[in-house]
Structure 1
Amino acid sequence: MIRYAVVGAGWISQEAFLPAVATTGNSRLQAIVSGSAEAARKLVDFHGAPEVVDYAGYDALLASDRIDAVYIALPNSMHADYTIRALRAGKHVMVEKPLATSMAESEAMVAAARDSGAFLMTAYRLHNEPGTHAMIEAVRGGAIGDAVYFAATFGFQTQLGNHRLKAGHWGGALPDVGVYCLNAARHVFAAEPVAVQAMASRPAADPRFAEIDASLAVTLRFPGDRLAQFFCSFGSAETETIRIVGSEAELILDPAFKFDSVLQMTIRTPGHEQRRTFRQVDHFAGQIAYFSDCIAQGVAPEADGAEGLADMRALLAIDEAARTGETVRLAPMDFGRGIDAGMVRRLPVTDRRLLL
């Protein structure tokens, strides 16, 4: 069993990660690291974990032999510090997206993993999800001909007071949900973007968006004159779609991104439509089980620091494009290893959770 410490006991940990650990079969919860001892104690009691650790005790926990890995679910601005400290202590790290808030921080995280020999995995849960794999396999297998255009939307209404609305944490729809659209486009085309354009909107009268943009519309050029566009928002109706236009057909994944959605794929050709609905699986259990397998087998995860770094490079270019109104060009870069069928995990969704 791979023993995890969860760093940050906020909504995503309570709703998704903590309930999922027990369903993996190869992982267990050892500790919760939190600034709220009372809340953390309720969570460890509920999930049957041995200990609560405050942030002052984090390094002592890392220095112990009580854990093998940490899951970091802190605000974006805190990812690098807590990740690097864990890696330097020889602990494996799964860190939420985006990797950090700058290329310098991200590169330091990747370097810490390389120097320590511990694994760094960016938490791309969809890399272990069957519907996402089916989409990629359909494109790779020529089901739509040559993919020429990718479009995605991911948006919803975010509540006032959420830390993701704070500029100081690099909040906003782009790093939070836009990263899903970007990551999907990169994997559909199996390539890295070479140019980006973006426009942002910020309603002046909405107090939620005093520090961040409400929505962004992004256009990316990929090698081979392939184009991608996506819209991400913290102020829209719920939307989570992917549409890939090929030379012979189009593929639609709708829903496409949320971990509580049942993904559905449609391949549409002239006069014919093929639809497939995927059984709902626990996205978080899948990625935890996969990472624990990697740790146990000594095999580096696919969604490693370099994968997170590739998205960071494009996210920051999109930020610049939205800010300046200019086309931002990116140096050519090889695409990573990509997802493969051996990464799929089909684990049941649990309804046993405690939300505080």
Structure 2
Amino acid sequence: MQRVRYAVVGAGWISQEAFLPSIHATPNSEVTAIVSGSGEVARQLAEFHDIPHVFGYDDYDRMLAEDIVDAVYIALPNSMHADYSIRAARAGKHALVEKPLAVSVAECEAMIRAAEENGTLLMTAYRLHSEPGTVKVLDLIRSGEIGEPKLFASTFSFQSAPENHRLLAKHWGGPLQDIGVYCLNAARHCLGSEPVEVTAMKVHGNGDPRFREVEGSMAVTMRFPKDRLAQFIISFESDDTDTYRIIGTEGEITVEQCYDLHFNPRIWVSKGRERREIDVPETDHFAGQTAYFSDCILSGKRPVPDGEEGLADVRALLAIEAAAKTGQPQRVDTPNRDNHPDQACVRVLPRTDRRLVL
């Protein structure tokens, strides 16, 4: 089988813990280069994962100009996504970009335009769009299992390490951008539409020095068409939680372990006194995501979580941020999208223990 050759751009925790190990489980993908600001870390990872090329950030354009990679996986701080994605597109390379896609609507639009003008594919790294449990929930909703979906509620939290770059305002850090995007994306697809109005409240950790530049926690409420409502709370200062519920006119769906890449989601459907658990196959989230994108590259098919999908979330994130800052509701003007994750996005691949975290 033909394999898509990737460069990992940014050799931090998510690349070490998730992306690099997952590649070994994919039948259609391989990593042929690492681009990093830490040469020693990159060399150790390259040796461990049998990757032939290592580059510094200053050599990024030279790497793109050579016949070494077909695509890049961008796992850099949020403020760097647009620059490295656009440069890749101009060199004819496809881009899988971590979320949020960029730090502004203008940057997202520039990334989308660069991909279109150069005939490359741009995919926002929504790994859960290829995870079978997530798509199963959407299938249940679309089939009318709980009637008309009316309410969405989610909590996602953990204790952030003090040195995490997601605590820096210059990289558009904070729990909203880092983990709130998961809740927002899940709400959009579970309710099958785009939010039209948002409100939010934030707190800064009651003097915790980690939160001098970004909030420690945030609570968000969103209004959707047909008088549907969604709420989520995210936090960098609380114990580990990740769960959501969708309540319809005839039942509800509860999902636990819904966002964490290390776990299989647990799903229950409740109708009256009846409650049943839905079986979900075990899979590696990152392997599924990358295999799906490689299939899109090899077939020339636009991925469902494309640049427009990333833009939709960034537009809502900015409105939420403004609502939290001003204390006033904010409108969100995103055209309704018909593209939602379905079974064609799903890839079930084994987890691997082959990882090196430095």
Q: Which TM-score band (shorter chain)?
A: over 0.9
SS of alignment partner, residue 355 of structure 1: coil
Q: Note the alpha carbon deviations across 1:49-69, whole angstroms, 9 max, x for none.
A: 101011111001111111100
Matching residue's letter, 1:194: V
Matching residue's letter, 1:111: R
Contact 2:201 2:220 in 1 (8 A): yes
User: What is the aligned partner in structure 2 of residue 355 from structure 1?
Assistant: 357
User: What is the aligned partner in structure 2 of residue 69 from structure 1?
Assistant: 71
Q: Note the alpha carbon deviations across 1:215-267, whole angstroms, 9 max, x for none.
A: 11000000000000001111111110010110010110012110101211111
Matching residue's letter, 2:249: S
> Structure 1: how far apart are the matches of 2:72 and 2:334?
33
Contact 2:203 2:215 in 1 (8 A): yes
Contact 2:85 2:111 in 1 (8 A): yes
Q: How does 1:181-330 map to 2 (within 5 A)?
A: 181-330=183-332
What runs of 5+ residues in structure 2 fail to find an aligned partner?
none
> Structure 2: how far apart are the matches of 1:332 and 1:340?
21
Share of identical aligned residues, percent?
56
> Structure 1: how far apart are the matches of 2:56 and 2:324?
39
Contact 2:205 2:217 in 1 (8 A): no
SS of alignment partner, residue 161 of structure 2: coil
Contact 1:240 1:256 in 2 (8 A): yes
What runs of 5+ residues in structure 1 fail to find an aligned partner?
none
SS of alignment partner, residue 193 of structure 1: coil
SS of alignment partner, residue 224 of structure 1: helix
Instruction: For residue 203 of structure 1, report the CA deviation from its aligned partner.
Output: 2.0
> Structure 2: how far apart are the matches of 1:341 and 1:280?
15
Contact 2:26 2:290 in 1 (8 A): yes
Contact 2:315 2:334 in 1 (8 A): no
Matching residue's letter, 2:98: E
- The Cα RMSD (Å) is 0.8
User: What is the aligned partner in structure 2 of residue 100 from structure 1?
Assistant: 102
Q: How does 1:75-154 map to 2 (within 5 A)?
A: 75-154=77-156
> Structure 1: how far apart are the matches of 2:205 and 2:241?
19
Contact 2:205 2:237 in 1 (8 A): no
Matching residue's letter, 1:304: D
Matching residue's letter, 1:149: L
Q: Specify which of 338, 341, 344 is matched with residue 343 of structure 2.
A: 341
Q: Note the alpha carbon deviations across 1:168-210, whole angstroms, 9 max, x for none.
A: 1000000100000000010011111000000001124201101
Instruction: For residue 332 of structure 1, report the CA deviation from its aligned partner.
Output: 5.5
> Structure 2: how far apart are the matches of 1:226 and 1:204?
33
> Structure 2: how far apart are the matches of 1:350 and 1:330?
41
Q: Note the alpha carbon deviations across 1:296-329, whole angstroms, 9 max, x for none.
A: 0111111100000000000000000000000001
**TM-score with structure 2 setting the length:** 0.98
Matching residue's letter, 2:150: V
> Structure 2: how far apart are the matches of 1:282 and 1:103?
31
Aligned length: 356
> Structure 1: how far apart are the matches of 2:338 and 2:43?
41
Contact 1:263 1:277 in 2 (8 A): no
Contact 2:312 2:334 in 1 (8 A): no
Matching residue's letter, 2:71: A
> Structure 1: how far apart are the matches of 2:8 and 2:264?
27
> Structure 2: how far apart are the matches of 1:39 and 1:174?
29
Instruction: For residue 352 of structure 1, report the CA deviation from its aligned partner.
Output: 0.6
Question: Is the aligned partner of 1:3 residue 2:5?
Answer: yes
Matching residue's letter, 2:46: V
> Structure 2: how far apart are the matches of 1:324 and 1:205?
21
Contact 1:307 1:336 in 2 (8 A): no
Instruction: For residue 91 of structure 1, report the CA deviation from its aligned partner.
Output: 0.2
User: What is the aligned partner in structure 2 of residue 54 from structure 1?
Assistant: 56
